[in-house]
């Protein structure tokens, strides 16, 4: 009876040990847990060549409208600094003029002499070549610019002298002048979508004393649009 009792107890113990092991083996293996990849922030990428057009107003004493185009290149220094170069040119409707009349006595016994003179001056075009430097806030770019400026003006001059009862003489001519100077500007540009951006900008140009306009400085306020080549906005 002792040996039989021993084997009986051994069998019960074996069943008790292997039952949970078999039960665990029958359970399904849990699927591995996958985590989503980290979200990478997406921002507009300003690097690339661009072309565009602008319209605005300018004044140097008298004011008028202007319109033209620009071409340039931006290079974004990650994460948010942008440097570049830009050239632009614009025609203007800005004009100025002056007229004067004089009356003076001629020889004794003769009637007084009348003299008139007049000049009209037009600013035909302005152009700049500048370095740009700015800071981005995703789709916003705030920038400054500095460089060289050129302007072309033309003047029509006419004069006449008249002696009543005797006759008169008159003449005129045209003067063209291209002057150079410097320009400073500030502006902001916004990425509309795809490769299109829009900008608002102020420029101050100084041409010194060697120009046909009364004022040395020329101010411009303009708005424009650019198309950037090289793909859509990228990932930082």
Contacts by residues 80-83 (CB-CB < 8 Å, ≥ 24 positions apart): 80/135, 80/136, 80/137, 81/133, 81/134, 81/135, 81/136, 82/46, 82/132, 82/133, 82/134, 82/135, 82/136, 82/141, 82/143, 83/131, 83/132, 83/133, 83/134
Distances, alpha carbon 149 to alpha carbons 155, 183, 203, 210, 234, in Å: 20, 6, 10, 14, 34
Report DSSP state, residue 94. -
| Rounded CA separation 182/180 (Å) | 7
Q: What is the pTM of this model?
A: 0.68
| Rounded CA separation 206/181 (Å) | 5
Architecture of the domain whose range is 45-228:
Beta Barrel (2.40)
| Residue pLDDT tens, the chain, 236 long | 554 554 454 554 444 555 555 455 555 566 666 565 554 445 788 999 999 999 999 988 778 999 999 999 999 997 899 999 999 999 999 887 555 555 656 566 666 666 666 667 788 999 999 999 999 998 999 999 999 999 998 877 766 666 665 555 656 667 788 889 999 999 999 999 889 999 999 999 998 876 555 567 889 999 999 999 965 554 44
């Amino acid at each position: 009876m002792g040996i039989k009792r021993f084997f009986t107890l051994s069998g019960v113990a074996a069943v008790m040990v292997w039952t949970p092991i078999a039960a665990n083996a029958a359970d399904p293996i849990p699927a591995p847990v996958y985590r989503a990849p980290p979200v990478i922030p997406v921002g507009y990428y300003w690097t690339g060549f661009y072309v565009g057009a602008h319209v605005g107003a300018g004044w140097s004493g008298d004011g008028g409208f202007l319109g033209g185009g620009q071409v340039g290149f931006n290079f974004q220094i990650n994460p948010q600094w942008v440097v570049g170069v830009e050239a632009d040119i614009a025609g203007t409707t800005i004009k100025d003029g002056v007229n004067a009349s004089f009356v003076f006595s001629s020889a004794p016994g003769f009637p007084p002499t009348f003299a008139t003179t007049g000049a009209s001056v037009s600013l035909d075009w302005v152009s700049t070549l500048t370095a740009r430097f700015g800071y981005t806030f995703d789709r916003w770019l705030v920038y400054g610019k500095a460089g060289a400026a050129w302007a072309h003006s033309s003047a029509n001059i006419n004069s006449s002298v008249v002696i009543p009862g005797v006759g008169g003489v008159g003449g005129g001519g045209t003067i063209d002048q291209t002057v150079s100077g410097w320009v400073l500007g500030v502006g902001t540009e916004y990425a509309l979508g795809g490769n299109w951006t829009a900008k608002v900008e102020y420029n101050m140009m100084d041409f010194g004393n060697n120009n046909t306009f009364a004022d040395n400085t020329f101010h411009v306020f303009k708005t424009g649009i650019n198309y950037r080549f090289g793909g859509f906005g990228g990932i930082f």
